[in-house]
Amino acid sequence: MRWIPIAAIALAGCVAAPAIIPDTYYVREGMVHAINPPTEAIWNLQVEAMDDYGNFDPALMTQARWDALDAASAQLLSASQDMAAAGSYASHDPAGNLGDAPEGTDLAAIEARLKANPQSYNAFAVALANHAQQLSAAVDARDPEWITRMANDLQPVCKACHDVFWYPEEYR
Ligand code: HEC
């Protein structure tokens, strides 16, 4: 019966080892693959379904557009909740293949800020998740005025974090 404890130790090793790494959120990959695509879809839909005053016009919302808005708002909600739930943050996946970051991006400086202020980063991530929750609720409610407000107020929530963690040099 000596094999039982050995097997148990091997299994425990398998379960415990990956728990540390998957909890790290790779910001650049998260932005490019998870956060940005549904946001662009929402902003594009807003342009397509806008009245003369820049408000969401339900008369311009076809079933296909509602389906797309449902999907994009749900996707943004789950993507931002994933980011908010992470235990630690890194600027990018060292094994990633996204190529060059946008001009002016200093990945090493971003990494240093993330390591110095993880709670602050997390607070911005929670703010985005809360905003995405409201946007999703507005879409579920089919409330054009609420959807307009949440879609218009989304960009400042992105910018608030970018100002601090991406391009703070501009504000010194
Ligand atoms: C909690 C902080 C935070 C929030 C909120 C946030 N971002 Fe970012 N974002 C970053 C950081 C940090 C970078 C630079 C990281 C990098 O590219 O390594 C970045 C980079 C990006 C990039 C460039 C990615 C690249 O390298 O090509 C895009 C696009 C982007 N964000 C879109 C968005 C949008 C859209 C939102 C809002 C819906 C948003 N972000 C909200 C932190 C945030």
The predicted pLDDT at position 17 comes to: 41
Confidence tier at 22 by pLDDT (50, 70, 90): low
| 88 ligand 1 Cβ < 6 A | no
The predicted pLDDT at position 63 comes to: 97
For ligand 1, mutation pick of 106, 158, 159 (most atoms within 8 Å of CB): 158
Token pair listed for 1: 């019966």
In the predicted model, what is the mean pLDDT of residues 103-113? 94
pTM assigned to the model: 0.88
Ligand 1 atom closest to the Cα of residue 132 is: 38
Reported for 94-102, long-range contacts at CB under 8 A and 24+ positions apart, including other chains, are: 96/26, 96/28, 96/29, 98/28, 98/29, 98/32, 101/28
Q: Which of 7-11, 35-39, 55-59 has the lowest mean pLDDT?
A: 7-11
Distance 22 CA to ligand 1 centre (A): 20
In the predicted model, what is the mean pLDDT of residues 31-50? 97
**DSSP letters of 32-53?**
IIIIHHHHHHHHHHHHHTB-TT
Distance 36 CA to ligand 1 centre (A): 8
In the predicted model, what is the mean pLDDT of residues 48-52? 94
In the predicted model, what is the mean pLDDT of residues 43-48? 95
∠29-117-124 over CA atoms, to 5°?
60
The predicted pLDDT at position 168 comes to: 78
For ligand 1, mutation pick of 162, 169, 170 (most atoms within 8 Å of CB): 162
Residue labelled with tokens 């996204």: 98
Taking the domains of the chain in order of start, what are their residue ranges?
21-171
| 77 ligand 1 Cβ < 6 A | no
CATH number corresponding to 21-171: 1.20.120.10
